[in-house]
Amino acid sequence: MSCRRFLKQEAGAVLLLVLAFIGLAVPLAIGAIKVADELNVLSRVYDKLLRSRYTASAGAELAFWTVINNPSFDDNLTPVDPCTDTVITVGGEQVTVTVCRVFTVIDLQGQGLVVTKTVTPATAQQDTETLFTYTITIENAGSADAVIKQVYDYLPPKFLYVNGSTSGLTTSNPQLNNSSPQSCGDRPYRLYWNLEPDNITIPPGEQVYISFQAEAELDQGTYLNQASVRYVPWWSTTGTYVDVFTPFTAEVVVGSGTPYCGYDLNVMVTKEVQPQNATPGVETEFTYSIKTENLSTGTRYVCKIEDNLPPTFTYVAGSALEYPANIALSEPELVWDGNSTRWLLRWADGTGSNLNPLVSLAAGETRYQVFRAITTPEPGVDYFNEVSSVWSRQLVGGHCKTGSGDGGASSWGGSIQGGASPESEVEGIIIYDITSLASDGTVRSRIQYTEASGQIEILSWQEY
C-alpha cells in the first residue's frame, strides 16, 4: 500500500472530521440501511459495528495528534516498558488507545544482555514490617540467542525471602546462603536460581523475568539491591559463560534515607552521556562521564576501569587528558573486541600502568573519568554502553591486592532504565505502533514520525 502522510495541521483536522462523522454520517448511513428495508435488529447491529469502527479510527487519529503535538508523551518509554495507554470516550463509547514506541537496538553480536531490577513499594515506614516485590528483567538486545544458566540476587541486610513467592522464569525457590536478619553492613541473603541442566534460551529482542517477595522491618536508611545473570553468549563453543551485573539498584528508602545499606557495598560505578540525542547521518562527538563512588566505610583503591564503547564509536585521542579531575590523567589502552566488534577502553594498575598513581577513594568520596567518543549515528538506532571497575581494600608493593576478600568488581550495563542514561539515541525518525480498541472495532497502525518536519507517515493501517 502507498504511504499516507499527515502534517500537524492536517492531523488535527482529520481528528475533528472523524469525530464529526461519528455524530453525523453514521446516522445517515443507518437511515439508508433502514430505507433499504433491512431488519431492525440487523440495523442496530450494523449501527453498533459502524460506530465501533469509527470510534476506533478516532482513537488512532488521537494517537497521531498526540505524537505530533505532545512531544514529551514518550519520555518515560523504554525498551523494557515501551507502551502507554489512554482511555477516552467517543460518542458514548469507551476506546482504549495504546501507543508503543519501537526501539531499535544496534547489533551487539549477541552481547547485548540487559539486566534491570525494580521493587515495589520503594518506600517503607520505619520499624514496620513490610512486604516487598522484586522483579529482575532479563532482555536479549543482541542478534543471537542467549542461554541463561543462573540468576543471582543479593538482598539488602534485614530482608527475608518469602517462601514460595518466585514466579516468571521459574517457580522454584532459590537456594539461600543465610537464614536470619542481620544488621546493616552484615552479609545478607544471596538468592541463587540454578536453571541447569535445561537452561533458558532467550531469542533476540525478547525478555524474561523473575519476580519474588521479601519482607523486612527496617530502620532509617536506603536499602540497595544487586542482581546478576550468568549466560552463554553466541560466540562460545566451549560453554564459556559471561556474568552481567546490575548496579546497586531497586532502592527502598526509609525515613531520612541514611545510611546506605546493601550487600557488600563498596564501589559503585555508573555512566552518563551528553548529548543523549543526535541527528542521523551527522558526525557527532559524545562526552561520557564514568562516576565512581565509594559507598563503604573505609578507603578503597581503584585498580582498573574498562569501558566498552558502542559499535561504530571511536575514542577521541587525547580527550581523557583534558579533564584535570579525572581519576586517570592518561590515555586509555585501546583493545579491539572482535566478538562484539567494538573498542574497549582500559585504564589499569600495574608496572608502567596508565592508572598511576593509584587513586584512593575515602569513605563517601566520588570521582569521575571523563572522555569523548565520536560516531556518525544511523537513523532509528539506540546506542548502548557498558562500564566496569575493579577496586581493592589494600595495596601490596604500591599495587592493588585483589586476592579473595581483598577487592572486587562493580559494573553497569547498557540499560536506559530511569535516571541518566548511558545510551545515546538517534533522534529525528521514530516508529510507533498504535492500537485503538473499541467494543466491536479495532484499528492497528504503524507510523513513522519525522521530528524536523512534524510529519507522520502511515506505514500500515488495519481495521477489523
Q: With contact defined as beta carbons under 8 Å apart, do 90 and 18 qualify? A: no
Q: Which amino acid appears at position 77 of this protein?
A: L
In Å, how far are 171, 211, 462 from 167, measured between CA atoms? 5, 5, 36
Count the alpha carbons within 13 Å of 81 in the hemisphere toward its beta carbon.
14
Task: Kindly list the structural domains of the chain, giving each domain's residue range(s) and its CATH number in brackets, ordered by start.
Answer: 4-101+428-463 (no CATH), 104-265 (2.60.40.2260), 266-427 (2.60.40.10)
pLDDT given for residue 144 in this prediction: 77
pLDDT at 266: 76
330 and 347 in contact (C-beta within 8 Å)? yes
**Whole-number pLDDT of residue 259:** 81
Strand stretches in 64-185, DSSP E: 83-90, 93-102, 113-120, 123-124, 130-140, 146-154, 160-161, 167-168, 175-176
Q: Please give the DSSP secondary-structure letter assigned to residue 349.
A: -
The backbone torsions φ and ψ at residue 4, rounded to the nearest 5 degrees and listed phi first, read -110, 140
- In this prediction, residue 380 carries a pLDDT of 67
Confidence at residue 167, expressed as pLDDT on a 0 to 100 scale: 93
Cα-Cα-Cα-Cα dihedral sign, residues 138, 201, 344, 350: positive
Q: What integer pLDDT is reported at residue 213 of this predicted model?
A: 95
**Which residues, including other chains, have CB under 8 Å from residue 450's CB and lie 6 or more apart?**
428, 429, 457
Angle made by CA atoms 107, 108, 112, in degrees to the nearest 5 = 120
How far apart are the C-alpha atoms of 447 and 101, rounded to whole Å?
10
Here the cell at position 155 is 538482598
pLDDT tens, the chain, 464 aa long: 334 444 444 444 444 444 444 444 444 333 443 434 444 444 454 455 567 777 788 888 888 888 888 877 877 776 556 788 888 888 788 888 888 876 543 333 334 677 888 899 999 999 999 999 999 998 887 777 888 889 999 888 888 899 999 999 899 999 887 655 566 766 667 898 998 887 888 888 788 999 999 999 998 888 988 888 888 776 666 666 777 777 778 889 999 888 888 766 778 787 888 887 778 888 989 999 888 888 777 888 888 888 888 888 999 999 998 888 888 878 888 988 776 678 889 887 654 444 555 678 888 888 888 999 998 887 767 777 778 777 777 777 666 765 544 555 555 543 222 222 344 444 456 778 888 888 878 888 878 787 767 788 887 777 76
293's grid cell: 563512588
Q: What is the pLDDT of residue 239?
A: 63
Q: What is the CA radius of gyration of the chain?
A: 27
Task: Look up the pTM and report it.
Answer: 0.54
User: Residue 317: its pLDDT value, please?
Assistant: 94
How far apart are alpha carbons 264 and 268 in whole angstroms?
11
Backbone angles phi, psi at 362, to 5 degrees: -70, 160
| pLDDT at residue 406, rounded to an integer | 53
Residue ranges with strand state E in 319-397: 333-337, 342-348, 359-361, 366-375, 382-383, 386-392, 395-396
Angle (deg, nearest 10), helices 8-35 and 40-69? 180
Contact 213, 130 (CB under 8 A): no
**How confident is the model at residue 304, as a pLDDT?**
83
Cα distance between residue 8 and residue 304, in whole Å: 51
Cell of 168: 516468571
426 close to 379: Cβ distance less than 8 angstroms = yes
Q: What is the 3-state secondary structure (H, E, C) of 263-329?
A: CCCCEEEEEEEECCEECCCCCEEEEEEEEEEECCCCCEEEEEEEEECCCCCEECCCHHHHCCCECCC
What spatial distance separates the first Cα and last Cα of the chain, rounded to whole Å?
A: 17
Cα separation, 273 vs 421, whole angstroms: 7
Best CA proximity match to 149, nearest among 208, 206, 195, 203: 195
Residue with cell 577502553: 345
